[in-house]
Amino acid sequence: MKLKLHRFDLPLRHPFTISRGTVTVRHALVVELEDAGCRGFGEATDNAYYKVTVEGLAARLESARSQIEATRWETPAELWEALRPVLGSMPFAQCALDVAAHDLWGKKHRKPAFALWGLQPPFPNLPVTDYTIALDTVEMMVRKMQEVPHWPAYKIKLGTTDDVAIVKALRQHTAAPFYLDANCAWSESQALALLPQFVELGVTFVEQPLPAEAHAAMGRLKAASPLPLIADESCQNESDIAACAEAFHGINIKIVKCGGLTPARRMIAQARARGLKVMLGCMTESTVGISGIAQLLPLADYADLDGPLLIAHDIATGVRIVDGHILYAEEAGCGVKLSQE
């Protein structure tokens, strides 16, 4: 097996602003695994909040190159376990490798990755993906929404002094469900004041209202909230599930944070056992990463997989997003074909 690394800059269609900053370009590392004439691809993007850079990801994978290429495995889970001692402290890198292994695994067996897990279509209730409206002036947020009218759900970034006004303004232009995401920006008292006001505005749930470390406050907020609360920054890996069950109604699983599809499947099982809803999220990946995450869709309640829609130019083909519906590729594995090398 051969390892190859590809670096890409992914300019965004619009500046992407949340409560803690703005991004105009995502930097991505695509991992390629080649074996027996088949090529699998996985992806991780940089992220300032988690202190992840493409340079750091590439360096860690290069340091493990000999072990990656020498490891013999029948399933991606075996490769994941074998590499955990050297990649476990950098889950973004482990994720890119794990998704590439799933793509390769499926292509070698000529089946979708989800089918090799035992999931069989048709999937009549696949969650649609929302479309994210990042923070901006109210006028610009409305304009962004109007670029994709009639979308089945919108994710609205919040964390300003005018959050209710923003939601009210956007509600005038659509009847679609709203998923609100404060990205840790509110205090407990702010959240208690804001949440009741969103009930009548067609809000389905609120994601990460308080800082990740505010466990006790989140427990109190869960007990008082009129809306479901979904963990994001508070839920990074498997070890966070138990605490999240005490403070949230559901979790947003981002595979780069937990280390890939292999641990994400375990997280979903643990969440279900605790009665939690499951959302699948992304870090503005291209179609490479989204095609991997989409293998988990039959197991989820909600999806925030609009990364390819937010970047100006995609770098691959794979799953397609049509009016919020995610359509699987005809290609086996995760369905990825890299269009730029």
Over residues 154-172, the pLDDT tens digits come to: 999 999 999 999 999 999 9
Q: Are strands 131-133 and 154-157 parallel, antiparallel or unpaired?
A: parallel
Q: Is the dihedral of CA 13, 305, 325, 286 positive or negative?
A: positive
Over residues 55-93, the pLDDT tens digits come to: 999 999 999 999 999 999 999 999 999 999 999 999 999
Cα separation, 192 vs 302, in Å, equals: 24
pTM value is: 0.96
Within the chain, strands assigned E span 2-18, 21-35, 38-45, 131-133, 154-157, 178-181, 203-207, 229-231, 250-253, 277-280, 302-303, 316-317, 320-322, 325-327, 337-338
Length reported for the chain: 341
What pLDDT is stored for residue 129 in this prediction? 98
Whether residue 341 is predicted with pLDDT greater than 60 in this model: the reply is: no
Identify whether the C-beta of residue 93 lies closer than 8 Å to the C-beta of residue 26.
Answer: no
What percent of the chain stands above pLDDT 70? 99
Identify whether the C-beta of residue 179 lies closer than 8 Å to the C-beta of residue 204.
Answer: yes
The residue-averaged pLDDT of 200-223 equals 97
Over residues 246-299, the pLDDT tens digits come to: 999 999 999 999 999 999 999 999 999 999 999 999 999 999 999 999 999 999
Please name the residue ranges forming H helices in 148-214: 163-171, 188-198
Q: How far from chain centre, in Å, is Cα 114?
A: 17
Identify whether the C-beta of residue 79 lies closer than 8 Å to the C-beta of residue 71.
Answer: yes
Q: CA-CA distances (angstroms) from residue 21 to 16, 151, 164, 317?
A: 8, 26, 20, 30
Whether residue 218 is predicted with pLDDT greater than 70 in this model: the reply is: yes
Whether residue 340 is predicted with pLDDT greater than 90 in this model: the reply is: no
What pLDDT is stored for residue 271 in this prediction? 98
Q: Which domains does the chain have, with CATH numbers?
A: 2-115 (3.30.390.10), 131-338 (3.20.20.120)
Interior angle at CA 274, CA 272 and CA 279, nearest 5: 45
- Of the pLDDT bands very low, low, confident and very high (cuts 50, 70, 90), residue 150 is very high
What pLDDT is stored for residue 70 in this prediction? 98
Paired residues of 205 in beta bridges: 179
Whether residue 235 is predicted with pLDDT greater than 80 in this model: the reply is: yes
Whether residue 318 is predicted with pLDDT greater than 70 in this model: the reply is: yes
